[in-house]
A and B are shown apart, each in its own frame.
Chain A
């Protein structure tokens, strides 16, 4: 039986390979453990702006989030839940910003404007919960979340020259 670490590595590899073919504004959505058959993706679309690119006053890009979900079961099969809700979440999981209700198919939810973020979809009893409470059914990392660190790379250690 695959260990949790092995499962995590497998998912990371899947995500990386998917990143290899996705566009710069695409997010692969991976299933949570309660819904292994679910899958999906999210597309970051520049929010409407007279300047062509929408940014906050401090320069963060603002995106409309368009989610395509497949294989989501009736939320009631997971417990006392009636909706799936998408969230913009910091990589540290310390801030959750509700984006909107998601269903199987294509749904354009709210706007995300953090530099790096996760898109997390949870099962919830309400359509507009103040906080998340149910199980995660899909999750993914913004393209900016893949920004690499080169702290240990040979190019910075002077080894390759």
Chain B
């Protein structure tokens, strides 16, 4: 039963005044100082105060930043991502390395692939097979996971499951086959909370042989969305022994598109731009739009939608991809924004927040050819529907597997426990930003264990041992428990397979698409149909990097037919 606090009852009955009062002043403490002059080790949302009981506390881990002891001046300056076309049979040398990056005028030591952030955009034809020789030259063990690609299990890049971690200075050769057209991404599967956040990510764009696969566009743009937590001249360090920000994941205070704080694009009047959106942030879910510019949704993780549709904005949970087209019909300057409703937990209010991620400038010169007519047409993708039709007989079957998403904690600061035990009257379906970053920062993966619990056996996380036949269609029901200690959304990712979201909270999905990552809001029950066609041992996990680091992962064995 949901707790009803005596304090809340008293408040509503007039026992306590609810008039606004200023919070108490914060005592000074050594270390970084917040802009408001109060001591604050991490950036706080505007107007939010630190709980007095947490002032002066530090996470129970030592701190880590890339390149400790390295002279930054000797490191190469990060370059923008370069498109790298590869033919089947080609080999790519891919090196993870230390780099210098300048963000908002501040220089930091971070990571990148081949000197680039994002890493090289690998462009291949559907059904191509390439070799990637990975060289780990960073100061942590690493690997490369080919997110969303239904490849040979040996090359999935998961230490402890498909390979050993590649030590610093080590190498590993991956064979990557691309059976599906679309936009994918690669990233390490070791300490994602550090390595991915510090710049180890890149796209793979897989082209269909069908030139009419998407509606026509004048231009393509890959937008890789991420964020960083920066205070003054300093990156907020990471937990060395275990992830910090374990409760909610690290939500940065600086948003980045393609590794830069401001995206810029100039187009001609009437241009149709196809945007390939990828969310590589550790925890942030985005709501992207270009006010005044119509957008058409084409595809997501592993396929096109059954039907193109107009959308006012694009919601992307961590690791999700969406492909949209936008038509810029009038000259002018248009912001690309992330617009969300934050919660001020202190005042119990919603706050509209708009991050301007960049600008699109539209020239007066008219584009040629004009794809305006095709843009206004919403295409039905009969081939997608026809393929999905083979799976419809399974839509109504009882779930084969059931998972509940929850969390267990121990030894959190008393104030954190007290606050989270009473702030239970409402949970946002999606926490777009971190309203309590100091509380979140102090929680580490030593104290927080995020849980995938098998409803039928009670087994949790890595103790879950699922075996399914190759070629079977598995219905998985996932319930995100709203009564856990910290209810929040989870983007659940399944490696090496594809899946359909057939219903949410009992409501059938109207426009289907093949996915590899699915957002599960607080309190929701989502039915997934997994096309278990790719043999091997595959991970299923939450793609909030800190939740993965705090145990929220399991494996599914896809065996012989």
Residues of A participating in the B interface, judged by any CB pair closer than 8 Å: 9, 12-13, 16-17, 19-25, 45-46, 48-53, 55-61, 115-116, 143-153, 155-158, 160-161
Q: How far is the CB of A30 from chain B (nearest CB, A)?
A: 14
Q: How far is the CB of B489 from chain A (nearest CB, A)?
A: 8
Q: B53 near A: Cβ within 8 Å?
A: yes
Select which of A12, A19, A160 is within 8 A of B418 by beta carbon. A160
Question: What residues of chain A lie closer than 8 Å to B317, measured between beta carbons?
Answer: 52
Q: How far is the CB of A36 from chain B (nearest CB, A)?
A: 22
Q: How far is the CA of A132 from the CA of B63 in the complex (A)?
A: 60
Q: How far is the CB of B515 from chain A (nearest CB, A)?
A: 9
Contact B21 A55 (CB under 8 A): no
A-B pairs under 8 A by CB, number: 172
Please tell me the number of chain B residues within 8 Å of chain A, measured between CB atoms: 80
Question: Other than the known A24-B523, A161-B53, what 17 A-B pairs have Cβ atoms closer than 8 Å?
Answer: A46-B505, A50-B511, A52-B518, A52-B519, A53-B315, A56-B313, A57-B312, A57-B313, A58-B339, A59-B313, A61-B430, A115-B341, A144-B426, A146-B426, A148-B11, A148-B425, A150-B348
Contact A160 B415 (CB under 8 A): yes
Q: B513 near A: Cβ within 8 Å?
A: yes
Residues of B participating in the A interface, judged by any CB pair closer than 8 Å: 1-4, 7-9, 11-13, 16-21, 23-24, 49, 51-53, 287, 289, 291, 297, 300, 305, 309, 311-317, 322, 339-341, 343, 345-350, 352-354, 414-415, 418-419, 422-423, 425-430, 432, 482, 487, 501, 504-505, 507, 510-511, 513, 518-524, 526
Contact A158 B7 (CB under 8 A): no
Contact A147 B519 (CB under 8 A): no
Contact A20 B314 (CB under 8 A): no
Q: How far is the CB of B502 from chain A (nearest CB, A)?
A: 12
Q: How far is the CA of A67 from the CA of B312 in the complex (A)?
A: 27
Question: What residues of chain A lie closer than 8 Å to B313, measured between beta carbons?
Answer: 55-57, 59
In the complex, what residue of chain A is closest to B480 when comparing beta carbons? A24
Name 30 interchain pairs, CB-CB below 8 A, sorted by A: A12-B13, A13-B9, A19-B2, A24-B429, A46-B504, A48-B507, A50-B297, A50-B300, A52-B520, A52-B521, A53-B429, A53-B430, A55-B313, A55-B315, A56-B313, A58-B340, A58-B341, A116-B350, A146-B426, A147-B425, A148-B348, A148-B422, A149-B348, A152-B16, A153-B422, A155-B51, A156-B23, A156-B49, A157-B23, A160-B53
Contact B17 A155 (CB under 8 A): no
